[in-house]
Amino acid sequence: MPPPSSTWSSRFARQTHAAYVIAKKDAVIYYLKPPVVSFGVIFPLFFYMAFAAGRQLSAGTMVPGIVAMALFFTASAVGPLVTPWERQARTWERLATSPASIWAIIVGDIAAGMAFGTLISLVPLGVGIGLLGAIVVDGAKLALGIVLGALAFSALGVLLAAPVTNTPSQVMMISNLIRLPLIFVSGVFLPLAALTPWARWLAPFSPLSYSADLIRIAFGGVGYFPPLFDVAALLVFSGSFLALTRVIHAATRAKVR
């Protein structure tokens, strides 16, 4: 009989490979499509530019907001649709009864959204630095803001898809009702200190607040929260979204089996 550590490591390796296969499948089928890529780049840019029109904003003020917006939209946009699409195509039941664990399925879905959001956010980041002259003063905080933000936003998107439904339009309606208010109280358009009191009270409930805060600090701006608090909050949001998704998927998988 193999030692327990060997059994655990082999099981971990199999589930890691399963998560990789699921992430690769999501990337090829859902993410790497011209309409999805163009939406991820253009929509946040025009959304932010419409707000900034007529205002004298420096590159150091505008670029962090655009990067945070692009990251939030791209990392959380497709995740809510993956599971409903697969339920509609009757492929989710096959996945749920496969040897892949619930964690492997969830991690694979989140990894795909996380990677997509991170890559797309590099586009406005590169434009801001190369063409607009924005200067990054703290690369570590920028990396933390983007990577941890992508993790939290992708986990949120996968959580929104967890309840049983095979109608993508219903999920998108719920997704937009949740995501859009999170944007307006997150300090993306204005620093959190400049928001109204009620918006500042709601800001801590948006994971985007902490990612945008870290990215703003990375560009030399003044942060609203301490950087370590931003990092801790993003990790707590990510863990909470993961745990809730796991509970919902476990109940759904039990019914399928």
Question: Mind listing the pLDDT tens digit for each residue in 73-85?
Answer: 888 877 777 777 7
Whether 35 shows a pLDDT value over 80: the answer reads no
Percentage of the chain exceeding pLDDT 70: 83
**Rounded to a whole number, what is the largest CA-CA distance in the chain?**
72
Confidence check: pLDDT of 49 > 60: yes
Give pLDDT tens digits for 174-213: 777 888 888 888 888 777 877 788 888 888 999 999 999 9
Q: In terms of pLDDT, which residue wins out, 147 or 188?
A: 147
Q: According to the model, what pLDDT value does residue 145 have? A: 94
Of 43, 215, 17, 226, the residue nearest 129 (C-alpha):
215
**What percent of the chain stands above pLDDT 90?**
23
**204's torsion region: left (phi>0), alpha (psi -120 to 50) or beta?**
alpha
Going by C-alpha positions, the residue among 67, 57, 20 that lies closest to residue 214 is 67
If you average pLDDT over each of 36-45, 53-62, 138-147, 248-257, which comes out highest? 138-147
For the whole model, what pTM was predicted? Answer: 0.84
